[in-house]
Structure 1
């Protein structure tokens, strides 16, 4: 085991005996951006080491300095950034002392990086072959046919089908999961000894995420690579890492081996991250959300950087910076572990002890969707004749009562978002009926719809894209009230805007700011306030927490639950996060290729899934308890075989015959290939479309 921290403090000056020389050794790394009073220190004294074949995970919220640490290792800092001190040793070479010409050999050749968003990292005007070929020519001297042969081998290794044809495709012709695989192939083209993976699965579905994580684990085992994994997902960390470093406000606050860390996190910040995770055990209880945000890094800190958000802080925490302490095999930067304290109560729960939220009684349906279909025509030729149809939504039926949450889950491309937009008539349905409180929406004129729109609103996945950047927050919230003539009096509207901002955890003074002046979580709160401004009965939430840190996610989920109890709101919650579904939803509908394949109460569907697709989704979710069980058995969680659905979602332009899921189902028989299954009722409102349910 490599030592936990190098040069982190006197308590860890002596490192544990290492079985081998570290591949990467980082000591007291410091990064500064800007000058004078405007300087920012995103990395402030970070140290860790990684051995060959080992995965070290940097865990923490957005803004804590994880990605900037990775960029500093490769000396790829933004304009105005400089390394202010420290050492970075790679295979015995001091990277900070190398010339830029030598660093060009290191980048991609010895150390490769996978970025969070492949769509912005891949060149949109170059083919996949051209982009991989650049790496092969620069670092391995391969060109022309030898380069093509090697590129074909790399894409085949990362699971790209029909490799020879797809080599000459452009990035936009690949799905999100496939683009991430192309990025991995490019990173491996230089045969690196160290791979830096910066949030490699954040925007992916659970099934694609599982495939990518398995792929990374397999390639790492085959090549003996070291890996620096940057993420805020505790489940991914439990599955992939051997050692963990928790980062907060530019510095490491805890390090340790995976098993020790997950069984007994030491730092109050680490414990709060665990408490914020939505789980079955917390269902009916508010999540222990971590209030506030990571402090700005443009100032000098006198005490503990976490003190203002720490429930266990005392006077010393605000006066003096804590030293490093060793507890067993873990290191922690916290005053609670100094002599005379002994740390927080190890028997205390991570979360708060709170009263459960009483379940609402089931009422008559507020939303009633019957056989909804949305088909998009495909036109070709000079006369633009219709040659085919994309069946994005193909016969969806569901109901939703006031005060309840129905989760619509499935992979990207299954039709969830299109169904939500069609329900609100933002996309015209091809056929089917939609009723809100008994009033039909389909077929109404725009003028008639406008008077009904106050009853239903939508919160989108990306609040930055859905908020007008040229309008102040107060104007954004007021816009809907003016359009729907909710409150004719200007003073009453102003008072309502102030009340809404306070209700979603913001302050009235923030009404004068623009969207870019807020964090991601705050922008999502603004989007919720805008939806509430017209007093709706139904809110359709399209992946509202998918891009948020676990702590910010907990704040938004708690807010949504409170608003539902207070106003009797109904939520149609579109997501692929099954952890959120288990905590928030009353009912769940699983969607595959435009159709509902399983539906029922959330406790029934998630505890006893009847459709193989639902079981595959649940198996693909990184599960901390399951990973720790593998550790107890002496099995690496990343290599332990799970039931994970393979391949990508088929195209809705040409869905498979019979059961649409049969090409990816390991239980498919002849009847599955020939006939689409009828709906089977199980019990307690649980239904499934499968020839072999259960």
Structure 2
């Protein structure tokens, strides 16, 4: 492969175009937001095309302009935003020249959009039928019985059971995965030719994500729709896209076909995104985290926008904006490919310092949980009598040694977070025992429990929601020290806060700021500093990286491993990200409907899962090698058999093995009897009548 020299003046868009006649053709698109003197430029010369039946994935970190590009295409910009240059042509029609009245016919009819968060996109006071009916009436003229029949057909098509009854339900009566399916049904109601999907699976666990992605792929093939997929998940890109555009700081920096991109990404930014992925190959070594942040977009750039974070930067990068260069079938905006014969190179496994090995599991456990139960009563009637119980946690047993990480994995709603809170006595257990360093926590008085609280802390999933918005960062960290009487001296307390902020990668002067002044990754660092302030022995981490980009996730994971080695911390890591589990955890426990169905050393469980549910979880994870047919021999040959349907309600769990309604191997004994624990070699155990 050879590189072209390119022009001295950077091109406003990528030379890579759809190989078929474009359905959507975007050229030189520029968006400004705010004051004319110093506007924010979230989209700054973006160009690409999408053909009918083709998926184009827009990839990049939060803040790089992906979602703003999508909103600009539909002219749904915020009040202070405006399109200042460029063309957007749909089926040859210039959308930027249309009136607002004309655009209402395009939105939902010709181009539909699935937004990132269905909970905020669906109207909470309108039934599903009313919301789908609005689209049907506007774009297809259907009303009354005809509209209801079509709405029911749409819900059937997206896999919602008992669609006729669910039409009259409100959004709050649906699970996260179901709400996302309702959004898809609404988007398809107008029979669009182009679908824009903005992070459609970010908030979903792996099994529901797999179902939604399979649904989108089948509907696209059936209808021949074009699709613009916006995401930062490389696995989802590998699963769905034919072509890819990598976006950074308002502009595209690389485009190309999916297989070429995954075989050998060109731009240093693209390569850093790959290197930051937690994988089996990187286990035992620090992740190649991408330092720094996306630059402010209200400035005038003179050189390459990635220069401040690039490992290959040289003098020209700071002084001259790079032009587009073609390398084989790919295109890249980078000076490294100017006037050279530089070829694309595969991304190699990360190299670096070997991380310290965790203590042996044979060490006396710090945490010992025995048959933990958390049941929530359901009360009805005037006398509020108990009529049923939600068995959120129904007999969980696990152990965790000092300095080790135990991952608790499973679908949303399986009881992971409730178990974590019950272990810390933030939720009162219904039954069972919890021992911390040999001391039983159940039944302790509030005063006795307060004395032990400094030994165990929690890092929550959403750092913004768990940090008091009215308190400065220094006050937030100091609050725990004061409450638990850890450091009575004010000067020493202030010194400890400064040390903690520096240790988690922040500066001491940041203690005077409020939480809203920080990025998501920085807020998670603050939450970790708050947990560390009282010098705990155990930290329960509830999905601490689920809302973070892959680059920020790598920084947080590296930090947690460093702190674990330094302070001999034990982590109970609650997550549904199997990639993070494989890199971070020493042991794993798989939870289904309130019970542990399989547990053991992480390498053994992930390499050869014994329970059908564990196998279904692993099969649901988008695998880059499997999806792109690159290094097929290393993909393990695992069949893509995911769990059908949704998690049953813990209010009325199925008889026998709780997983049998979704299990292909279920027999009569599975329907009648819950399986006993079977101990396997290598410290593993499984609850299954027919372990694999």
TM-score, with length taken from structure 1: 0.96
The answer on whether the counterparts of 1:33 and 1:39 sit within 8 Å (CA) in structure 2 is yes
- Structure 1 regions of 5+ residues with no counterpart? 1-6
Cα 1:354–1:560 shift into 2, 3 Å: same
Distance 1:45 1:16 in 2: 14
The answer on whether the counterparts of 2:14 and 2:47 sit within 8 Å (CA) in structure 1 is no
Cα 1:538–1:79 shift into 2, 3 Å: same
> Residue by residue, what CA displacement relative to the aligned partner does 1:603-645 show, whole Å, maximum 9, x if unpaired?
1100010000000000000000111228989xxx9xx982111
> Residue by residue, what CA displacement relative to the aligned partner does 1:480-499 show, whole Å, maximum 9, x if unpaired?
00000000100000000000
> Residue by residue, what CA displacement relative to the aligned partner does 1:11-63 show, whole Å, maximum 9, x if unpaired?
79996897642000000000000114441000000000000000000000000
Distance 1:249 1:608 in 2: 42
Q: Which runs of 4+ in 1 moved over 2 A?
A: 7-21, 340-344, 346-362, 630-633
Distance 1:339 1:359 in 2: 49
Q: Please, which of 665, 669, 674 is the counterpart of residue 676 of structure 1? A: 674
Equivalence for 1:627: 627
Cα 1:195–1:347 shift into 2, 3 Å: closer
Distance 1:439 1:143 in 2: 65
Equivalence for 1:643: 641
SS of equivalent residue, structure 1 residue 658: coil
The answer on whether the counterparts of 1:12 and 1:326 sit within 8 Å (CA) in structure 2 is no
Aligned pair 1:691/2:689, yes or no? yes
Distance 1:318 1:562 in 2: 33
> Residue by residue, what CA displacement relative to the aligned partner does 1:478-523 show, whole Å, maximum 9, x if unpaired?
0000000000100000000000000000000100000000000000
Shift of 1:360: 2.5
Equivalence for 2:152: 152
Equivalence for 1:237: 237
Distance 1:483 1:496 in 2: 15
SS of equivalent residue, structure 1 residue 478: helix
SS of equivalent residue, structure 1 residue 476: helix
Distance 2:13 2:528 in 1: 49
Equivalence for 1:386: 386
SS of equivalent residue, structure 1 residue 596: strand
SS of equivalent residue, structure 2 residue 138: helix
Which segment is superposed worse, 621-630 or 516-525?
621-630
SS of equivalent residue, structure 1 residue 186: helix
Cα 1:236–1:364 shift into 2, 3 Å: same
SS of equivalent residue, structure 2 residue 683: coil
Cα 1:57–1:347 shift into 2, 3 Å: closer
Equivalence for 2:660: 662
Cα 1:632–1:353 shift into 2, 3 Å: closer
Equivalence for 1:110: 110
Shift of 1:351: 3.5
SS of equivalent residue, structure 1 residue 203: coil
The answer on whether the counterparts of 2:324 and 2:332 sit within 8 Å (CA) in structure 1 is yes
Distance 2:14 2:683 in 1: 61
Cα 1:14–1:591 shift into 2, 3 Å: closer
Cα 1:38–1:449 shift into 2, 3 Å: farther
Aligned pair 1:270/2:235, yes or no? no
SS of equivalent residue, structure 1 residue 684: helix
Equivalence for 2:553: 553
The answer on whether the counterparts of 1:193 and 1:226 sit within 8 Å (CA) in structure 2 is yes
The answer on whether the counterparts of 1:611 and 1:693 sit within 8 Å (CA) in structure 2 is yes
Shift of 1:105: 0.2
Distance 1:523 1:390 in 2: 33
Distance 2:310 2:349 in 1: 13
Equivalence for 1:4: none
Equivalence for 2:48: 48
Aligned pair 1:307/2:307, yes or no? yes
> Residue by residue, what CA displacement relative to the aligned partner does 1:401-429 show, whole Å, maximum 9, x if unpaired?
00000000000000000000000000000
SS of equivalent residue, structure 1 residue 301: coil
Equivalence for 2:4: none
Pairwise CA RMSD of aligned residues? 1.9
Cα 1:23–1:348 shift into 2, 3 Å: closer
SS of equivalent residue, structure 1 residue 77: coil
Distance 1:75 1:216 in 2: 24
Distance 2:254 2:493 in 1: 48
The answer on whether the counterparts of 1:336 and 1:343 sit within 8 Å (CA) in structure 2 is no
Shift of 1:347: 6.3
TM-score, with length taken from structure 2: 0.96
Cα 1:195–1:631 shift into 2, 3 Å: farther
Equivalence for 1:428: 428
Distance 1:643 1:318 in 2: 49
Equivalence for 1:182: 182
Shift of 1:356: 4.0
The answer on whether the counterparts of 2:15 and 2:331 sit within 8 Å (CA) in structure 1 is no
Where do residues 571-582 of structure 1 align in structure 2 (5 Å cutoff)? 571-582=571-582
The answer on whether the counterparts of 2:271 and 2:347 sit within 8 Å (CA) in structure 1 is no
Distance 2:140 2:603 in 1: 54
The answer on whether the counterparts of 2:14 and 2:46 sit within 8 Å (CA) in structure 1 is no
The answer on whether the counterparts of 2:133 and 2:147 sit within 8 Å (CA) in structure 1 is yes
The answer on whether the counterparts of 1:389 and 1:653 sit within 8 Å (CA) in structure 2 is yes
Where do residues 39-438 of structure 1 align in structure 2 (5 Å cutoff)? 39-340=39-340, 342=342, 346=345, 349=348, 351-362=350-361, 363-438=363-438
The answer on whether the counterparts of 2:249 and 2:294 sit within 8 Å (CA) in structure 1 is yes
Cα 1:514–1:15 shift into 2, 3 Å: closer
Distance 1:86 1:186 in 2: 30
Aligned pair 1:451/2:448, yes or no? no
Distance 2:476 2:14 in 1: 57
Distance 2:423 2:631 in 1: 46
Distance 1:218 1:572 in 2: 38
Shift of 1:684: 1.2
Distance 2:254 2:16 in 1: 17
Equivalence for 1:3: none
Distance 1:50 1:680 in 2: 52
- Structure 2 regions of 5+ residues with no counterpart? 1-6
Distance 2:113 2:14 in 1: 31
